[in-house]
Amino acid sequence: MNINHSVCSLAVTCLFFSITNTAQAATFTRFAEGLQNARGLNEGPDGELYVAEAGIGGGSTSSSSIPSPNIPGLDLYLGNTGAVSKVSPDGTVTPVLTGLSSVALADGSNAVGPQDIGFDAFGTPYVLYGSVGDPARRDQTLNALAGNPYSANEILGTSELGSLYQANFVTGQLTRLADLARYELENNPTGGDIDSNPNSLAINGDTLYITDSGANNLFAYSRRENQLQLNTIFDPETVAFDSLQFPEGLGPPPAAPNDPTQTPETEEPLFPLQYVPTGVAVGGDGNLYVAEFGGFPFPQGKSEVTQIDANGQQTTFANGLIQLTDIAFAPSGKAYATILATESLALGGDRGKVVEIDNDGKVTTILDGNEVEGVELLVNLTVGTDGLVYVAGRGNGPNSTIFQIDPEGEAVDIPEPNSAYGVLVWGLLGTLSFAFKTARKQANFTTIDQ
């Protein structure tokens, strides 16, 4: 990427520590700031960085709102504050698409809007929109398709969310190619709650791969055939309930003594832990690699990267992680991944981490928010053709930051005043609705005879 990685004057020195107790030097720079709920980012055909901004919704004066599906008592407000922006080599942010649909809380957090940006081999841009949970909340067409479960004032009245678009930066137009929210409403492949939140985009030839983190699916859209097909379903893993740590008030109620409705002592309560696909990338070997966030309550070690070959065979590429949000490959073939927070969001975690993954699945930390102030809530990343890594952080508000990392550079530190950004952690559960979707199901346990 022809972006000068020495432009930021804030860089000084630090040491990074790794999950695997190995360390790697890496130059770290705050490349751009002030973006509005920054999400996916990618190198454009001009060699510069493009960022999808989910926007800040429409504020409390908006004429269209719905109750937040994740934060009881708060509403999400519709506006036209979403954007796609280009970041110049000196860190200047210039919008190239504006006025895009955005839904957020009144303070601009928990935004849903443009979620990812990608380019095909011809330089054609594609924009992926996130969604708001139940597709019937989106517009009257989907509400009617669902049997009108909501009144007119309980839906947003916009059709843009939950879809894949081809973009034209010259005319400002978006052309819908696939409606993933509608697909979930009509098909619901997993058979659980109807929930859609398209999250990440990867392009291989004329095929675009999309993760739907709400539906727990991976899709393939063919430009040649103009067709959306289900590629992979990520079924939940059943784990022992006692192995999980729930925040106070979000676990099941304690069993009453001598209550015949409670599970017999001879049976072990189990919990369906979601995989939740987030990032997707195409590796140098042509296989797909999917970063999996892991489901509520987001336990340590239950997040992994899955390799999917041309036959659909799934193999674990890297595991033992937590709250993975994205994955990208460098020209060297090495993979890089973002960890939203190194402690469960359900327990208040917000300090993010960037890791490098070798071909054998070995994980090395190159940036650790537990060691560097301000490295919080890391949502997406990309790697330029020059091997520099760009990371979207502080991904839940109007002051998101793009970090730049040179994995081969000398270790540096960027001191910063103490941040109060962690107060938005629970808000991010709404921003990334996939993260909290299973909280609604937390009382629906199964049992197994021992």
Tokens of 48: 């510069």
Q: What is the pLDDT at residue 248?
A: 76
The pTM for the full model equals 0.87
**Average pLDDT of the residues in 377-384:** 96
Confidence of residue 14 (pLDDT cuts 50, 70, 90): very low
| 126 close to 143: Cβ distance less than 8 angstroms | no
Q: Is 22 within the bounds of a domain?
A: no
**Average pLDDT of the residues in 149-161:** 95
Q: Is 355 within the bounds of a domain?
A: yes
Of 16-20, 79-83, 126-130, give the lowest mean pLDDT range. Answer: 16-20
Range of 438's domain?
Answer: 32-243+264-360+424-449
272 bridge partner residues: 238
Q: What is the pLDDT at residue 23?
A: 44
Q: Is 7 within the bounds of a domain?
A: no
**How far separated are the first and last CA of the chain, in Å rounded?**
57
Helix, strand or coil for residue 375?
Answer: coil
Q: Is 206 within the bounds of a domain?
A: yes
Exposed / middle / buried, residue 166 (Cβ in 10 Å: 0-12, 13-18, 19+): middle
Tokens of 431: 């921003």
Number of structural domains (the chain) is: 1
Comparison of pLDDT for 3 and 63, the residue scoring more: 63
Q: Is 13 within the bounds of a domain?
A: no
Q: Is 368 within the bounds of a domain?
A: no
**Average pLDDT of the residues in 257-271:** 62
Residue 187's domain is classified under what CATH number?
Answer: 2.120.10
Q: Is 418 within the bounds of a domain?
A: no
**Average pLDDT of the residues in 415-426:** 39
Residue with tokens 């430009």: 223
**Average pLDDT of the residues in 20-35:** 73
Counting every residue written for the chain, the total comes to 450
Residues 207-246 have pLDDT tens digits of: 999 999 999 999 999 999 999 999 999 999 999 988 898 8
Q: Is 151 within the bounds of a domain?
A: yes
The closest of 295, 294, 129 to 212, measured between CA atoms, is: 129
Q: What is the pLDDT at residue 284?
A: 94
**pLDDT of 127 above 80:** yes
